[in-house]
A and B are shown apart, each in its own frame.
Chain A
Amino acid sequence: MTLLLALVIGCLYAAGIFLILRRNMVKVIFGLILLAHAANLLIFTVGRLTKGIPAFVPEGSGMLTGRFADPLPQALILTAIVIGFGVQAFTIVLFKRTWLTLGTEDLDMMKTTDEPPKE
């Protein structure tokens, strides 16, 4: 499975970078989200995969021993997911605001800070 996940991570990164290089702002946002997924999976995979044994201390036992999934990457990813959501919401709103103000989603039309020409 590690091999397959490496493939998935590679594809997510490639698609994310490809989308983030587009001129269309919505695609850039999609790209950002894919990159966030890629980074989360990267941390998850690099922390080693352990199938089916979550990091819970069993009832009636003082501590967890044996094979179990590493909880630390999970905690990091959980934080990253929620922050990623905040970033996603922010970029979506940014896009909406841009659309309302400029009426375009082409990033190349937004390179200047000057006032847009008045119709």
Chain B
Amino acid sequence: MLFYLLMIGFAISAAAPFFYRRFRAFFGWIAVSFPLFLFFSFSSFYPRISAGEVLRETVFWVPSLGINLSFLLDGLSFTFVLIITLVGAAVFLYAGTYMKHYEHAARFFVYIGLFMTSMLGLVLSDNIAAMFVFWELTSISSFLLIGFSHHKEQSRKSAIQALLVTGGGGLALLAGLILLSGISGTMEISELYPQHAMIVSSPLYPAAALLVMIGAFTKSAQFPFHFWLPNAMEAPTPVSAYLHSATMVKAGIYLLARMNHVLGGTALWQDSLLVVGAVTMVCSALLAFNQMDLKKLLAYSTLSVLGTLTMMIGIGSRLAIKAFFIYLIAHSLYKGTLFLVAGTIDHAAGTRDAGVLGGLGRAMPFTMATAILASFSMMGVIPLVGFIGKETLYASILELEEWGRYLIAAAVVANGLLVMITLVAGIRPFFGSMRRLPSVPHEAPFAMLAGPACLAFFGLLAGLFPDFFMGAMLDRLASSVLADTLTFRIKLWHGFNEVLFLSFLTLLCGMLFYAARVKLLPYLEGRHIPPVLKPSSWYDAALAGMLKVARWQTRMLQNGSLRNYITIIVVTAVALGVSALAGSFSAFPEIPALDVTFYEVAIVSIILVSILVLITSSSRLKAVITLGVTGFSIGIIFILYGAPDLALTTFAIETLGVILFVLVLYRLPRFTSYSTTASRVRDAVIAFVFGIFMALMVLFTVSGELDSGLKRYFAGASLPEGKGRNIVNVILVDFRAIDTLGEITVLAVAAIGVFAMLKLALKGGSR
């Protein structure tokens, strides 16, 4: 069932251009049915999941290697599935209108459909290999979507940056997962759970944990891999709302949550997540301080939230997991909304510059209402779900004894900055006086309003009735992450306590930051962080260095001269062969007895003489004839040693070969000598050494007895199974017929190549 849903997803994505061309005018309303279909299909599992059931399903792929498409639907993956499909529905509807003025909009829906399906596959996968495949698919679709406006250089650059960072992290993740399966002997994630104690005590554990963490950190843009996410804002706004705030960047978070019970519980895991998460949370919020672009502001706030989520897993207490869950849902709802609103503003006013925007509220009342609802959730204003998220977050930090004091300060500052960002990006554009804008603002069309408004409204509902909407899922999710059966109650109001005070403090801080920002902005203009301190400049340096090395080695190794290639290949082959043989054979090969007859000596002499004539000849015709003589003599050797079929074929081939040569060569002048004597001597030495080496190889190989089971098999089976007495022919047309089929196909291709080269090109620009 899960497998078929995914396959349907891929099929629908591929079919998107077909529908787009026909129903362009109202495509959003058709597109939205796709995520909604998935949403309701998965929702039908809700009663079973909330009752504590875990659905597993396996489709065999490469069972002998343990690689299967096995899927797992538990509380954790179910939560993600609902977020992906629900936000997806809003985004698809919105994009149907928003993308209309883009070129190749049909392509956009293929990519985003591919992404949604891969993301579902990623969170549903129970098999390490399958999960990795889906993981990479999300990276690739993200690459395609960031670079969607590929005529812009900045888009291409950002797309490649995102691909290299997340793809590189993906490789680290693969290595980590393979180590894990090596330790535990299974590829199924659910089978890793019971082996927790064994995995953690393995000597390979630190390496595996670190590699998995690197994979997650790159995907979820944790410090120092955070820089690709703000640059990814080059993508069309629906992509930023969907991939780069609500879903894809949470894949790393998902992985950490999924692996928490497998790899967690150690100081290495918990402390790394705690520190990296906290650093990301504070630093990225600070980086947003002087940003002016709405989308960049929102991107930095997303980074900060991702850091917070990582930190929650690092703390790992029950309360922290509760905060993780609520914060995750709250963020997906409000951040998706705010991004879409930013897109609407861009659409209506023609700019995303926070310094210019203002007074849009009169022209866009519904958009404003949506934005304010989402902004309140992001700021943590009662009674929205963001408020509960922040309260629980603070409560879980306050539980910590040692670090609690510093962390709570950091969290309040970071959240204060988030409040500031919200004020700048979500509230300010609608108030104040209107300035001159590139275009006259107007209310967004219904299709662009419905999605964000619904998401914002869900934020309100989830805040008002938290236990009804989230209670059961939280219990199931916690049991996936912590492997413990827990029951939580989520309440909106916890009474007047320390946490509530901190919430007020946060809002106060946010307003102070906002006021400070207005004062400080003129001073910050033109000031930048020194490049040495910026991870993005490390990335640039590494990329430039890699390209330099690549160019250097291309110049060295691929200089376009066939002779250099062959010399290198021959010398390397001889050196490797000699060093390998020197170890295994101490003595010179046993020289076989020289039992030869007169005519054998005669034939060999003919071959040797014709070779000599061939390499020294300056006449083409003489060379062709000696080549023919060599071939025919080899044919005679075949006859003498029991291979009449080979001899017949050789004779026929040599005849035709000579005809071919004569057809081409007979009108050309004599050979001109191009090579210098020095190069001829050098080549002769190389050739001589290689010849000796090959002759010795033959002697080494034949010095032992050969007991070929295949020889006996073919001799025995030829007549009964192949119905033929000529064993060579039976092998060719029956036992190994597929080789022959491949071979004649190659011949056919060669004939087409010959034809194309001679006929088609002659019509073109030949002189």
Contact = CB atoms under 8 A, between A and B. Distances in A.
- Is there any pair of Cβ atoms, one from A and one from B, under 8 angstroms apart in the complex? yes
B438 interface: no
A27 to B, nearest CB: 7
Interface in A33-74: 33-34, 37-38, 40-42, 44-59, 62-65, 68-72, 74
Nearest to A99: B668
A46 B601 CA distance: 20
A2 B715 CA distance: 24
A52 B660 CA distance: 32
A48 B649 contact: no
B690 A22 contact: no
A5 to B, nearest CB: 7
B698 A89 contact: no
Interface string B709-723: 011001110111000
A14 B674 contact: no
A33 B643 contact: no
Given A11-B691, A13-B690, A94-B757, A20 B566 contact: yes
A28 B595 CA distance: 36
B637 A5 contact: yes
B687 interface: yes
Contacts of B731: 71-72, 75
A96 B691 CA distance: 30
B681 to A, nearest CB: 11
Given A69-B641, A69-B643, A101-B766, A45 B698 contact: yes
B694 A13 contact: yes
Nearest to B762: A100
Contacts of A57: 715, 718-719, 725, 727
Contacts of A27: 671
Contact of A50 (B641, B657, B674, B725): B641
B16 interface: no
B732 A89 contact: no
A101 B716 CA distance: 55
B642 interface: yes
A74 B649 contact: no
A70 B708 contact: yes
Interface residues of A, number: 91
A82 B702 CA distance: 26
A82 B691 CA distance: 24
B695 A7 contact: yes
A54 B698 contact: no
Interface in B715-767: 715-716, 718-720, 725-728, 731-732, 736, 739-740, 743, 746-747, 750-751, 753-754, 757-758, 761-762, 766-767
Given A17-B691, A50-B642, A62-B719, A37 B631 contact: yes
A1 to B, nearest CB: 5
B653 A81 contact: yes
B592 interface: yes
Contact of B716 (A10, A63, A75): A63
Contacts of A93: 664, 753-754, 757-758
A88 B495 CA distance: 89
A49 B706 CA distance: 11
A47 to B, nearest CB: 8
Interface string A103-119: 10111100110000000
A51 B746 contact: no
B288 to A, nearest CB: 50
B541 interface: no
Interface string B672-697: 10110000000110111011101111
Interface in B287-301: none
Contact of A17 (B570, B699, B720): B570
B675 to A, nearest CB: 6
Nearest to B705: A48
Contact of B604 (A4, A13, A83, A106): A4
Contacts of A105: 668, 672
B729 to A, nearest CB: 8
B637 A21 contact: no
Contact of B698 (A6, A34, A101, A112): A6
B671 A19 contact: no
Contact of A97 (B671, B686, B761): B761
B563 interface: yes
- Overall SS of chain B's interface: helix
B766 A100 contact: yes
B592 A41 contact: no
B691 A71 contact: no
B562 A28 contact: yes
B654 to A, nearest CB: 9
B102 interface: no
A58 to B, nearest CB: 8
Contact of B720 (A16, A53, A62): A62
B634 A41 contact: yes
Interface stretch (B26-34, B60-68, B607-615): B607-615
B74 to A, nearest CB: 55
B626 to A, nearest CB: 9
Nearest to B684: A18
A64 B715 contact: yes
B718 A86 contact: no
A19 B676 CA distance: 14
A10 B693 CA distance: 7
B566 A95 contact: no
Contacts of A13: 687, 690-691, 694-695
Contact of B725 (A46, A59, A90, A92): A59
Contacts of B690: 13-14, 17
A14 to B, nearest CB: 3
A56 B725 contact: yes
B629 to A, nearest CB: 12
Contacts of B614: 15, 19, 30, 34
A92 B691 CA distance: 25
B661 A92 contact: yes
Contact of B695 (A9, A56, A90, A92): A9
B358 interface: no
Contacts of B644: 54
A64 B718 contact: yes
A30 B630 CA distance: 11
Given A1-B600, A13-B694, A44-B638, A78 B732 contact: yes
B701 A14 contact: no
Interface string B569-582: 01000000000000
Given A19-B615, A55-B728, A4 B601 contact: yes
Given A9-B695, A79-B739, A82-B649, 13 more contacts: A14-B687, A30-B623, A51-B641, A52-B640, A54-B642, A63-B715, A64-B715, A71-B711, A82-B653, A83-B747, A87-B750, A90-B753, A96-B758
20 contacts: A3-B592, A12-B611, A15-B614, A18-B683, A22-B675, A24-B674, A26-B665, A30-B614, A33-B657, A34-B611, A46-B702, A54-B644, A56-B726, A75-B732, A78-B645, A81-B646, A82-B649, A83-B743, A83-B747, A97-B761
Interface of B: 560-563, 566-567, 570, 591-592, 594-596, 600-601, 604, 607-608, 611, 614-615, 620, 623, 627, 630-631, 634, 637-638, 640-646, 649-650, 653, 656-657, 660-661, 664-665, 668, 671-672, 674-675, 683-684, 686-688, 690-692, 694-699, 701-702, 706, 708, 710-711, 714-716, 718-720, 725-728, 731-732, 736, 739-740, 743, 746-747, 750-751, 753-754, 757-758, 761-762, 766-767
